[in-house]
Structure 1
Amino acid sequence: MSFQPLLGFLLILSSIYSQAAVLKYTFVVQETNYTRLCSTKNLLTVNGQFPGPTITAHRGDTVIVDVINRGDQNITIHWHGVKQPRYPWSDGPEFVTQCPIQPGANFSQKVLLSDEEGTLWWHAHSDWSRASIHGLIVILPRLGTTYPFPQPDEQVPVVLGEWWQSDIRTVTENFIRGGGDPANSDALTINGQPGDLYNCSNTGTTKIKVEQGKTYMLRMVNAAMNNLMFLAVANHTLTVVGTDGAYTKPFSSNYITISPGQTLDILLVANQSPNNRYYMAAKLYNGQPASRFDPTTTTAIIEYAESSTPPVFPDLPAFNDRNASFNFTRRLRSLASTQHPIDVPLNIKKTLFYTLSINAIPCPANQTCEAIRNTSRFAASINNITFGMPSTSILGAYYRGMNGVYGNDFPDVPPLKFNYTQASGLNVSLRLPEVATKVKMLKHNETVEVVFQGTNLVAGIDHPMHLHGHSFYVVGSGFGNYERSRDSLTYNLVDPPHMQTIAVPQNGWTAIRFKADNPGN
């Protein structure tokens, strides 16, 4: 199966003397009729495609995307993993870096590629519309250079996602109104298709045709809303060579773990019998009981030739195998070669310790709530602060010098120190967060270390963390409570992975480092 961009691009500027180019795409946001799982519904898409079109460029190129909003809701597009150096205006988060694109309007978003190389992705950054508005960004090596591994014969997009029978806006409005968990998706998907383990999905199952002896690069993203996934291909070994737009030291595994928003570049060698078919299968990873999430499995089929034999199913870790998830992620290492150097900050000027919690806010007397025996609303917090959306945008308040919209005193450490990962018996009062609009100010070129500490308030889960405008080095991680005197000694400062998204392990911690060299909100 040959990997081709789903939307042709116009080369605006090119020269044999220059390796950079300006490319142009058009994204039309619109309602499209789709049939999945025995039913048909309208879906908000880009160019009528689910997943959306792939953007293909070379390292260092500039991409202009004309976004035309023919839908009936505000839209912005975020280029997940693209740093946008000194140009945050097209980054996507509504009311933080830009105003949303209103229905009937259009906006040209400039995407400035810098040192990214590999696979990234784009998605809507307004409410949960990203459930169907998303697609890949493929960043090829600069012209005249090549991959730091043998050239794959072909490239295959693998977009992991979710499908709801209900309108996604209804799902969003219901959990915001009630304050409980979002409704489980009705299916997981690979390239928009649930696979033949679901009813009415046999004919639409994604099929990837391969030839024996060839090597295929799987360009993979987890576009699911909240959930990590395990994925494997029956009888095939997967070799990881990149993540989040940066190359890694190659390593082989029988399965992969991928967090929401993360991308992986994976080599698959077609070295099995050409007379058989093999499932690519993905299921959710969740440290909570199975009743708390959708336990079903999505499949695609690896086909060497036309065959009627039943596909072989791969071995996947148990849905709650946190060690399998943790151990896979710990194997990621930067390539750290002469051609692909890294620059890990060693002299840290700003140290931040951030607790990540699920909290419970008491239900107002005049409302019906759905969390914790219907007496409260769930809320996420960092350092016990859950974000309060202001009536005036932070972007507008910042540039107009408006007082009272937000505070610039977001704390460097949590307000209370306790046994964050205690198995049970944590004081109920710790669940109540402060609702506030606070930001963290960093100095230009300041070197920063952030330790993310998961807590067991309400429930301990894996927390996928993504930083806009910067990649970061994941220098350490572990289970339990972080202790600097002990855990900083185990840091990898030689070849830590250079990432954009990292899942902080359930009731554990992760330390990242970056240089604040990209001004903006």
Structure 2
Amino acid sequence: MMTLPMAAATAFFFLALLVAVSTVLAAIVEHTFVVRQMHMQHLCKDTLVTVVNGQFPGPAVEATEGDTVVVHVINQSPYGITIHWHGVKQRLTCWADGAGMITQCPIQPNTAFTYRFTVAGQEGTLWWHAHVASLRATLHGILIIRPKSGSYPFQKPHMDVPIIIGEWWQKDLTEVEKGYLNSNDNDPAAAAINGKLGDLYNCSGVVENSYVLEVERGKTYMLRLVNAALFSEYYYKVAGHRFTVVGVDANYVKPYDTDVLAIAPGETMDVLMVADAPPCRYNMVALSIQAPAPDPQIQTFVSRGLVRYKNVAVNRTRVCSEQALTPKMPDRHDTATTFFFHGNLTGSLPPGHQSLLRQVRDRVDERLFITLGQGSICKGGNQEGSCKRGGSNESMLVAYMNNVSFHLSEKTVSLLEARWHRRNTTTINVTVEELPGRPARVFNFTDLALIPLIPGGKGEELEPTRKATTVRRFAHNATVEVVFQSTAALQSDSNPMHVHGHDFFVLAQGKGNYDAARDVGRYNLVDPPMKNTVQVPRLGWAAIRFVADNPGMWFMHCHFEYHIATGMATVFQVDDGPTLDTTLPPPPLDLPKCSHIKE
């Protein structure tokens, strides 16, 4: 008979053995990112761009669930740089999240920093990008996390195909950022698929190169989509083919069959495409979506690539047309298709996430109702004073959450460092305010009459907004519900809202003004999709819940660059838990310092 001490020793032995085996099975995935400027030519113009390792998009990071990722970033650019690992939960590694001035100071020119984190409990497609100024337009790449078992909850595809939808800018991206703050118009020159602008663009009559995907009939391809654009949500189609969506934001969903995808900035998507069409050539198209008038209108951005079957027989059999077949795209002002696309996704959770779903179903500790819109502040530092609005040059436009525009007034220390020093009795003064849990004023949030920015317009009295560094603090393991309400305040666009450090359940979305008495009953608490970025629909709302179980300071913001640059952001502060394995460790010794920041 085994005694209690013997049983404990045996249990400890097997636990140590399990840890040892897990360590052996896990790998270290190591990369070196050299950030520097180089010249690239598109549309007859030579443009100086900031890239990683001379690539646009940047290098792919591929790992297996449970691996440790180590990336040495060597900054040879003239700008301070951080790299955000978009969607990686960073469990107890908030220091590696890469949100500039939130979790770290930027990596200064001619210096280096090493990011270290583990990709545990996640499978699918994520991405990485710069999180300083608008530099993510060219500083980005895909992050693929494959299952440790080697199998998927669906038929294993024959090949992975990264599809990164982005934009090509012919402007200094740091100046683009400043232009946003001065309410100047700043638009990209073109859309791109995997860095190729496509044959719809030309330079003096010579068409730009297109991305080409060569396929074999009968095989299944996993398209790993990323929307890396600064500006737009995109529709994506391939002529003659359908898709089965199997994952979003590195979480599995119940297979959803469709011929069109809608992907917002920041979102990622895993999609199966069977090469079951006649062996010809088919165009793939990415088309930007835009809110219709009375919203301000910009040009349409579109990129076209090619799906080409091996052994295409155009002349021999005349089965195929000389021209590649082109898909019929939704209208660029069609916001209904994206609304229904996102609303049709349901979750397929692994066992490890079932307890989270039970918790968010059973209790809610914190409820936030956050309005998303635009307002104005008075120029000259008199942000809450009296000035002319309605497009006057005495005021400037900003984006907000509950009429507070996020602004970092302190740039000598990151918010996470300030929190750490406060916890350890060192005083570093950083002035923060609590993000209001509700808007200061209730109005018809989706009234189209609020859009026109004109003197005496209906929205003018709603414009006054203030700037502050806002934080919302949550106790460890609190269940948080956030209802995002898009508004028509000076524009009526959708809002892709991204939460760092946590995935959340998307419980419902709707058109018009959120009404708890009516809409709570529509919540999907059975199989909601789990995401890190939710597309809050135009003139509508979305409700999410998550468990705040990862201590740190986590940025939460809109992924439209104009919106984040002008203040549609806040920080979620999650407290430490009661144990060592729920407490944020100290910062790495090589964490960058904020001295001599170059902006």
> So what's the TM-score if we normalise by structure 2?
0.80
SS in 2 for 1:496: coil
Q: Return the offset for 1:166.
A: 2.0
Output one character per residue of 1:280-310: Cα deviation in whole Å (capped at 9) or x when no partner: 0011111134962231310110001366721
Q: Measure, in 2, the Cα distance between the counterparts of 1:80 and 1:259.
A: 14
Superposed, 1:215-226 pairs within 5 Å as 215-226=220-231
SS in 2 for 1:439: strand
Match of 1:102 among 88, 94, 108: 108
Q: Which residue matches 1:167?
A: 172
Match of 2:333 among 320, 323, 345: 320
- The alignment covers a number of residue pairs equal to 503
SS in 2 for 1:487: helix
Match of 1:350 among 340, 343, 366: 366
The question of 1:417 aligning with 2:442 is answered yes
CA contact (8 A) 2:81 2:130 kept: yes
SS in 2 for 1:502: strand
Q: Measure, in 2, the Cα distance between the counterparts of 1:475 and 1:379.
A: 29
Match of 2:273 among 246, 263, 268: 268
Q: Return the offset for 1:171.
A: 2.2
Q: Measure, in 2, the Cα distance between the counterparts of 1:365 and 1:477.
A: 38
SS in 2 for 1:343: helix
- The residue identity in structure 2 corresponding to 1:191 is N
Output one character per residue of 1:214-269: Cα deviation in whole Å (capped at 9) or x when no partner: 11110110000131111100010011110101111111111110000000001111
Segments of 5+ residues of structure 2 without an aligned counterpart are 1-18, 315-321, 383-387, 451-457, 554-599
Q: Measure, in 2, the Cα distance between the counterparts of 1:355 and 1:16.
A: 45
Q: Which residue matches 1:486?
A: 518
Q: Which residue matches 1:240?
A: 245
The question of 1:60 aligning with 2:60 is answered no
Q: Which residue matches 1:379?
A: 398
Query: Structure 1 residues 365, 244: closer, same or farther in 2, change over 3 A?
Result: closer
> So what's the TM-score if we normalise by structure 1?
0.92
Q: Which residue matches 2:287?
A: 283
Output one character per residue of 1:421-455: Cα deviation in whole Å (capped at 9) or x when no partner: 12215442211112122211111000000000111
- The residue identity in structure 2 corresponding to 1:130 is R
Q: Measure, in 1, the Cα distance between the counterparts of 2:77 and 2:432.
A: 35
SS in 1 for 2:100: coil
- The residue identity in structure 2 corresponding to 1:298 is S
Q: Return the offset for 1:380.
A: 0.7
Q: Answer with 195-204 or 217-226: which moved more.
A: 195-204
Q: Which residue matches 1:400?
A: 421
SS in 1 for 2:416: helix
The question of 1:457 aligning with 2:489 is answered yes
Q: Answer with 248-257 or 397-406: which moved more.
A: 397-406
Q: Answer with 39-48 or 287-296: which moved more.
A: 287-296
Superposed, 1:76-475 pairs within 5 Å as 76-142=82-148, 144-176=149-181, 178-181=182-185, 183-200=186-203, 202=207, 204-274=209-279, 276-289=280-293, 292-305=297-310, 309-336=322-349, 341=354, 343-344=356-357, 345-346=360-361, 347-364=363-380, 372=391, 374=393, 376-392=395-411, 393=413, 394-401=415-422, 402=427, 405-424=430-449, 426-475=458-507
CA contact (8 A) 2:163 2:226 kept: yes
Output one character per residue of 1:454-503: Cα deviation in whole Å (capped at 9) or x when no partner: 11111111011000000000001101111111100000011111001111
Q: Which residue matches 1:3?
A: none
CA contact (8 A) 1:179 1:371 kept: no
CA contact (8 A) 2:202 2:208 kept: no
Query: Structure 1 residues 16, 244: closer, same or farther in 2, change over 3 A?
Result: closer
Q: Measure, in 2, the Cα distance between the counterparts of 1:418 and 1:77.
A: 39
Q: Measure, in 2, the Cα distance between the counterparts of 1:174 and 1:482.
A: 33
Q: Measure, in 2, the Cα distance between the counterparts of 1:34 and 1:375.
A: 39
Higher relative contact order (CA 8 A, sep 6+): 2
SS in 2 for 1:82: coil
Q: Which residue matches 1:34?
A: 40
Q: Return the offset for 1:322.
A: 1.2
Segments of 5+ residues of structure 1 without an aligned counterpart are 1-12
SS in 1 for 2:284: strand
Q: Measure, in 1, the Cα distance between the counterparts of 2:491 and 2:97.
A: 32
Higher helix proportion: 2
Q: Return the offset for 1:41.
A: 1.8
Bigger radius of gyration, 1 or 2?
A: 2
Q: Measure, in 1, the Cα distance between the counterparts of 2:428 and 2:540.
A: 37
Output one character per residue of 1:25-52: Cα deviation in whole Å (capped at 9) or x when no partner: 1111011221211222221100100000
- The residue identity in structure 2 corresponding to 1:498 is M
Output one character per residue of 1:311-342: Cα deviation in whole Å (capped at 9) or x when no partner: 11111111111111100001111113558747
